[in-house]
Structure 1
Amino acid sequence: MDRTQYLQQFVDETGWYNSIVLGLILPEWIWRPLPFPLQSWLRNYIGGSLLYLVSGFLWCFYIYYLKRNAYIPKDSIPSYRAMKLQIIVAMKAMPWYSALPTLSEYMVESGWSKCFSTISEVGWPMYMVYLLTYLVLCEFGIYWMHRELHDIKPLYKHLHATHHIYNKQNTLSPFAGLAFHPLDGILQAIPHVICLFVIPTHFMTHVILLFCEAIWTANIHDCIHGKVWPVMGAGYHTIHHTTYRHNYGHYTIWMDWLFGTLRDPEDNYKKGE
């Protein structure tokens, strides 16, 4: 198989994703004539918006109403107004968020990355090695990107402060997970794209992990501490929103432990903070 044929596999796969999402929602005569990158952007926008809104509404309905007071004290439940404002901020940013996976897909389709199309090309053992390396590099990159968004004052003032107006339990909700300034959200997701040029990555896995970001960020803003080591759960992230100087990590606590910024929820509780 020559290089052109190989790269066509990525285009075909992206086209398949487009047909699944757009084909279920829009008549074909609307989206099919669009330029291929615009199709991909529209699919990312619609898919991302649905994932954010549906998962957010279902999760809020479960923890705030079906299980009211079981997970969150009554005085810690955010108001309708707070959640509405978070949705507005997130939805204003969604068109811009959608540009990043569209760009990463274009770079893969153009052969600029180290992506591979099928796991059989490298075998399962190497796939797992590459995946673990990808996740570690992403964790490192997201930690430092997040930390610098706090440490570099202009970045905090003009970008990250938009997210940190949610600084108490009763202002945090799953909808806060994507309530960022658009550039802030993109910067924190960029390590996923940078890794494509550093480590061989399975294309579908990359796409899935990008969309997992939406689910995970909703989870760590719900204030429910799952206590599953070494996961950077909501208990850790709630501390981040109240102290601003701890728990910058994403999926795990390891980077905060390694670089001295970890604060455990249990220790926080014992100190009465």
Structure 2
Amino acid sequence: MDDYLKLFVEETSWYNNIVLGMFLPEKWWDPLPHFYRGWLRNYIGGNLLYLLSGFMWCFYIYYLKHDIYVPQDAIPSKRAMLLQIGVSMKAMPWYCALPAISEYMVEHGWTKCFSRISDVGWAAYLVYLVVYLVVVEFGVYWMHRELHDIKPLYKYLHATHHIYNKQNTISPFAGLALHPLDGILQAVPHVIALFIVPMHFTTHIALLFIEGIWTANIHDCIHGKLWPVMGAGYHTIHHTTYRHNYGHYTIWMDWMFGTLRDPLNDEAKKM
């Protein structure tokens, strides 16, 4: 392994030491090969991120501020939320395999990742970041749309997520309540983009972290009204119509491909 690739290994090892060292005795994880340490770190970190963000957000919007954000009759039942947690927990070990595999490919020089922003300069870094996000947005849109359009994929994979199809059944915990293969397929564009666009590795890891928080946010049914963000107002419509708002972070792909439905227009029609 050349010296440059060792920078990626050093970075992932640092992440491993922080997370695993905080929660497990060193003798439990130190003998593990590097790849399995990465998977275990992702598993511990993924569970913590999912549960903490979900519980904190649910407590805030359903109990502290329910009179502001969510009507009482629209609050999901505890049973619905526990079912979503159960589905997510079963899928989490499989979800965590994808970033472990992507890190392996980065560490072996198979991708276009670079370790330091100084390697390309800030201007190029920002351009690459924008192109990376566009590639991810395009990939997630079409992957999500095909999970609806291809009937066997919907029936055997994506339908698991769409049993939560009303405001009083959708909660932040529903964000990761998918069939494991469904969740992996929707995250694959993040990895494919690494082979297409030069990407700062640390930023890629940070975006995966943000992804976990984002999935909780877009399932809280609260329309943030922050154009052009594909927030929860849009995603709630997706859960009720099944044919609109497949996008990820923004509305652009739905706008380009004719599947956008604006929650503000829906509200205006009800008035």
With normalisation by structure 1, the TM-score equals 0.98
Confirm whether residue 147 of structure 1 aligns to residue 175 of structure 2.
no
Look up the SS of the partner of 1:155 in the other structure.
Answer: helix
Instruction: Name segments (4+ residues, structure 1) moved above 3 Å.
Output: none
Distance, in Å, in 1 between the alignment partners of 2:243 and 2:179 is 20
* Aligned equivalent of 1:29: 27
Shift of 1:272: 3.0
* Aligned equivalent of 1:272: 270
Distance, in Å, in 1 between the alignment partners of 2:269 and 2:108 is 54
Distance, in Å, in 2 between the alignment partners of 1:88 and 1:96 is 14
Shift of 1:69: 1.9
Shift of 1:36: 0.7
For residues 135-174 of structure 1, the aligned pairs below 5 Å read 135-174=133-172
Confirm whether residue 7 of structure 1 aligns to residue 5 of structure 2.
yes
Distance, in Å, in 2 between the alignment partners of 1:36 and 1:233 is 37
Confirm whether residue 225 of structure 1 aligns to residue 223 of structure 2.
yes
Distance, in Å, in 1 between the alignment partners of 2:85 and 2:67 is 23
* Aligned equivalent of 2:14: 16
State the AA in 2 paired with 1:54. L
Distance, in Å, in 2 between the alignment partners of 1:264 and 1:111 is 42
Equivalent of 2:101, from 82, 103, 106?
A: 103
Look up the SS of the partner of 1:271 in the other structure.
Answer: helix
Shift of 1:213: 1.1
* Aligned equivalent of 2:175: 177
Shift of 1:270: 2.4
Distance, in Å, in 1 between the alignment partners of 2:33 and 2:130 is 35
For residues 42-121 of structure 1, the aligned pairs below 5 Å read 42-121=40-119
Distance, in Å, in 2 between the alignment partners of 1:57 and 1:190 is 27
State the AA in 2 paired with 1:125. A
Which deviations, in whole Å up to 9, do the C-alpha atoms of 1:198-251 show, x marking residues without a partner?
000000111111121110010000000000000001000000000000000010
Distance, in Å, in 2 between the alignment partners of 1:243 and 1:68 is 25
Distance, in Å, in 2 between the alignment partners of 1:38 and 1:69 is 46
Shift of 1:271: 2.6
State the AA in 2 paired with 1:27. P
Distance, in Å, in 2 between the alignment partners of 1:117 and 1:28 is 27
Distance, in Å, in 2 between the alignment partners of 1:137 and 1:75 is 39
Q: Which moved more, 1:65-74 or 1:166-175?
A: 65-74
Distance, in Å, in 1 between the alignment partners of 2:109 and 2:20 is 25
Distance, in Å, in 1 between the alignment partners of 2:92 and 2:107 is 23
Shift of 1:57: 0.3
Look up the SS of the partner of 2:68 in the other structure.
Answer: coil
Look up the SS of the partner of 2:18 in the other structure.
Answer: helix
* Aligned equivalent of 2:248: 250
* Matched length: 271
With normalisation by structure 2, the TM-score equals 0.99
Distance, in Å, in 1 between the alignment partners of 2:9 and 2:76 is 43
